Amino acid sequence: MCACCIAHAISNEFWKVHKQSDRRSCRAFARTDLEDKTLEIADQLAALAVKNGDNDLLAKAQTSKSALDTMQGNDLESTAERVANLANDNIAALAAYGVTAANVTALNTARTTFQGIQTSPRELVAGCKALTQSLSELIANVRSFFRNEIDKIMTPYKKSNPDFYNGYFAARVIVNRAASHAAPKKPAPPPPNP
């Protein structure tokens, strides 16, 4: 495996882990996006219902930002689906309110995205475990590449440019600050002889 492939594999694995560790912010973003898109269309449906005196439509469409914020995930999905269906049923009349089929499609896409993020915690745990298990192999490949290729390329610089040579090897030292190690226990002193 060449250096480029190893670097690419490590960066891809890192990005996957980073994406997974950032899942909470993704979930929050997806929820906010779904709430915003739902409210945009629901408010226009409510305005249409008031204009037409359609109390049934008003009762089905009326919601608020705070109501959406306090809903459980499944309830939010159901509300978004209900609003999308109501918008599809009234799409021609909603054109005057700036709601198009593209807006409804965007709402449905946001709902699908949110639903996918909501249902993936187990998949996330399994994915993290698989990535963690494959990291040791990738690290071994990188170490092998450095020892067997790059370190050997540095040999001519040992005498011609010792600062560069020493700097390279100083930079190659892995500093593991994440782990803490207990100080080794001192052996017990021998008992005194009388």
Domains of the chain by residue range: 3-9+121-172, 15-118
Q: Tell me what the pLDDT averaged over the chain comes to.
A: 80
DSSP string for 103-166: HHHHHHHHHHHHHHHHT-HHHHHHHHHHHHHHHHHHHHHHHHHIIIIIHHHTTTHHHH-HHHHH
Query: Rg of the Cα trace of the chain?
Result: 30
Question: With a threshold of 0.95, does the pTM exceed it?
Answer: no
Which residues 6+ apart lie within 8 Å of 83 measured at CB? 38, 41, 42, 45, 61, 63, 107
Split the chain (194 residues) into runs of 10 and give each run's mean pLDDT: 49 48 66 92 94 94 92 92 95 93 93 80 61 74 85 89 90 69 69 72
